[in-house]
Amino acid sequence: MLALLRSGEWLTTERLTVVPRMLLAVTTLAIIVWIGLSDGLIDLNGKPIGTDFSNVYAAGEFTLLGDPASAYNPALQHAAEKAVFGRDVPFYGWHYPPLFLTVAGLLAMLPYGWALFAWMALTLPAYAGVVYGIVPRKESLILALAFPAVFINLGHGQNGFLTAALLGGALLMLDRRPVIAGVLIGLLAYKPQFGVLIPLVLAASGRWTSFLAAAATVLAASMATYALYGPEVWAAFLESTEFTRGVVLEAGGTGWAKIQSLFSALRHWGAGLEAAYTAQAALLLAIAASLVWLWRSPAAFELKAAALATGSLLATPYILDYDMVALGVAIAFFAAHGLRSGFRDWEISMLAAAWVSPLVARSLMDATTLPVGLAAMLAIFAVILRRAALDTASTAPQRSERLVQA
């Protein structure tokens, strides 16, 4: 058994084909049945269909009414969410920068059900298309769509597809279309916690065109938002970050099992704020140093991209399980390198474990306090670095020999 896990031979073509299709079929049927048994737009648990999307829709309604700042007031936002459904529903806070309000406003021009459908119908193909662009094989689309994080994101009506599409698209375009890549990175500022390490990597690798394009995109979007909605909305957003930090993150208002970070795991185990923040900061610094080394090394670009996608998720204390859709981008880049250059020991099994991890991350965290999602991301990040080091070491003698011959 251990030998099979090491070699990856257990993952036969039949299993790679049949299992994702079965999972896709079962989960799709479950979603259809769940919606079919709902009371209009309210599911069996008394929550809105698309749960978190209700905060996007309510914020969009405020935007259309010319009062976007109210979305950052928890009491007003909750009242707006209840008004959408005409009954009491749980509170889903609006924590996004004002950059995202225009998207929310456009969606709120449709009835809630159609807006949710449009949001998923637009962003899911974008994510799947990026994965196919990374690994242009017929199996890629099935694996991308059956990735368990996809169904978590669908169930929450969340933006994981958009995040993955922007990040993966930027990495795909980085060397071929650096300006477009920079624009995509700039648009990722709607989820600023995932962009902390990207400017560092761009600077360390000398990709200044993309760096400047990203900065210009953020500046232009911010100025446009300021012009559209005024300074009040930015003031309201900055004030709301105290609620987000204190209630949602530090106190675990979202639920420790949903947050897949080192910070959340430590808080779930009873660690104090200072210890949890210190550990998260140490992890951030370690990842940053690793990425600088990797991106300045002669390692394959696919490994660099996979490491940046994974590192961006690990670096923040605030990553939820639906954000792990972006892990699919990392898996795809690593798989692309393996398919081109061959897989080393344990790599196929580690990729499979990372692919499955979102399926059980929340439930196992609830039942056992084991942070399976975090462990999977740490493991795949370590495997990427190991592969880069091994590849670099194996090509060093060849480079030395060429230099001697020259």
Q: Give the pLDDT band of residue 80 (cuts 50, 70, 90).
A: very high
Do 318 and 250 meet the contact criterion of CB atoms below 8 Å apart? no
* 3-class SS of residue 392: helix
Is residue 68's pLDDT more than 90? yes
What's this model's pTM, rounded to 2 decimal places? 0.94
Would you say residue 400 has pLDDT above 50?
Answer: no
What does the alpha-carbon distance between residue 211 and residue 197 come to, in Å, rounded to a whole number?
12
Tokens of 335: 């798989």
Spell out the residues 6+ positions from residue 205 whose beta carbon is closer than 8 angstroms to its own.
295, 296
Question: CB 67: neighbour CB atoms within 10 A?
Answer: 16
Whether 89 has a pLDDT exceeding 80, the answer reads yes
Per-residue pLDDT tens over the stretch 337-346: 999 999 999 8
* pLDDT at position 397: 55
Q: What is the pLDDT of residues 234-284, one digit of tens each?
A: 999 999 999 999 999 999 888 899 999 999 999 999 999 999 999 999 999
Which tokens hold the place of 270? 């009873």
Domain residues of the chain, as ranges?
2-391
Of 127, 106, 126, 128, the residue nearest 115 (C-alpha): 106
